[in-house]
Amino acid sequence: MATPTRTTVKIGDVAKAAGVSPMTVSRVMNNAPGVKTSTRDAVMETVARLGYAPNAAARNLARAGGGRLGMLYSNPSASYLSEFLIGALEGAHKVGAQLLIEKCEADPDSERAAIARLFAGGVGGVVLPPPHGESWAALAEIQAHDMAVVSVATGRFKSEAATVRIDDMAAAADMTRYLLELGHRRIGFIKGASNQTASAERLIGFESEIRAFGQPVECLIEAGEFTYRSGFEAAKRLLSARNLPTAIFASNDDMAIAAIAAAHRQGLDVPGQLTVVGFDDTPLATAVWPALTTVRQPIAEMADMAIGLLSGAGASTEDGQHEHVVAHTLVVRESSGPAGTLLPR
């Protein structure tokens, strides 16, 4: 394979030649801490050999009072987006950067076009909230434009980008254990969107805790898409089963709130007859009646941290890979209680 010419060398070329991630190259070029000396030396040797020069917008990210940051969004949950924006805007304010936001669809062509617009606007780094943080098309396009990238709430670490996330599997296991301790033995679970690893991690956490319990537990699993409508339809299916669940665990708050609405529509008391719990702890969790028991994912704080990583202010692991796993919290409110009185039909 031909060596890239001086005018075409991108951060991805340097990363591949040096055997590190693009984010590691970015941190070395910004003289950020947390990279081993041997790794830093290997990157700088590769930079010199290939004649790489980072774009001016990316360099500005490490300078106080300068630089533009970009963000993509297509998340169907308005409450999730509002929390994310609060954190991202706060983070941009801290580092003195402008935040440019592009709406796009969760498909490669739309993502590529949005990233190109951000690049044309002078953006040097991009934050990718779900589902974009796991899009190979988005990550490749950002690398092609020589920009830094941080993925948020990806479900698991990807070496192609810095990652800020919670341990979705452990969080779902904690909520499942809580339901089992309340005496629930018929539990419905509403999955999240299939294009996000966080959905799979939450299902794995749920199922692993059920298996570890050591007593018979009936699980009813339905598909969802992290939207209110998908949660409502999934809950209707769960509540039309011959053996009704005594609890429903939805993979995000929007679907959990929809499950409460479906239960009320059928005249079921929550939590007297049916416990409903969610995931995220968005503002809607306390706007619904009864207030929702849920897993708190600190969305705003995670977005803030992502901006810090982009600017070079965030820490990294010793080998220059960037993974921040932040703590989750089980928030118990009025929508959960001991196993109710629902009977088989």
Report, at the CATH architecture level, how domain 1-54 is classified: Orthogonal Bundle (1.10)
**Domain 56-166+299-328 coded CATH 3.40.50.2300:** yes
Same fold, 1-54 and 168-297: no
Residue written as token pair 């950020």:
32
287's CB contacts (< 8 A; 6+ apart) are none
Alpha-carbon distance of 42 to 46, in angstroms, equals: 6
Alpha-carbon distance of 181 to 137, in angstroms, equals: 43
Q: Any bridge partners for residue 330, and if so which?
A: 295
Q: Show pLDDT as tens, one digit a residue, over the chain (345 residues).
A: 444 444 577 777 888 888 887 767 766 776 666 678 888 888 888 888 888 776 655 554 444 445 789 999 887 788 888 899 999 999 999 988 899 999 999 899 999 999 999 988 888 889 999 889 888 889 888 888 888 889 998 876 666 678 899 999 999 999 999 999 999 999 999 999 998 999 999 999 999 999 999 899 999 999 999 999 999 999 999 999 888 999 999 999 999 999 999 999 999 999 999 999 999 999 999 999 999 999 999 999 999 999 988 876 544 444 445 778 999 999 999 999 999 766 555
Q: Tell me the torsion sign for CA atoms 16, 305, 99, 84.
A: positive
**Where do the domains of the chain lie?**
1-54, 56-166+299-328, 168-297
Alpha-carbon distance of 148 to 22, in angstroms, equals: 8
What pLDDT is attached to residue 315?
A: 46
What pLDDT is attached to residue 343?
A: 52
3-class secondary structure, 292: coil
What homologous superfamily is domain 168-297 in, according to CATH?
Answer: Response regulator (3.40.50.2300)
Give the pairing of strands 275-280 and 247-250.
parallel
Under the phi-then-psi rule, with left for phi > 0, alpha for psi from -120 to 50, and beta for the rest, what region is 142? alpha
Q: Which amino acid is at 28?
A: V
E strand map for the chain: 68-73, 98-103, 125-128, 148-152, 162-165, 186-190, 218-222, 247-250, 275-280, 293-296, 323-325, 329-331
Phi, psi angle pair for 344, to nearest 5°: -60, 145
Cβ(331)–Cβ(172) below 8 Å: no
Q: Which amino acid is at 325?
A: V
What pLDDT is attached to residue 316?
A: 46
232's CB contacts (< 8 A; 6+ apart) are 258, 259, 261, 262
What pLDDT is attached to residue 162?
A: 82
Cβ(284)–Cβ(254) below 8 Å: yes
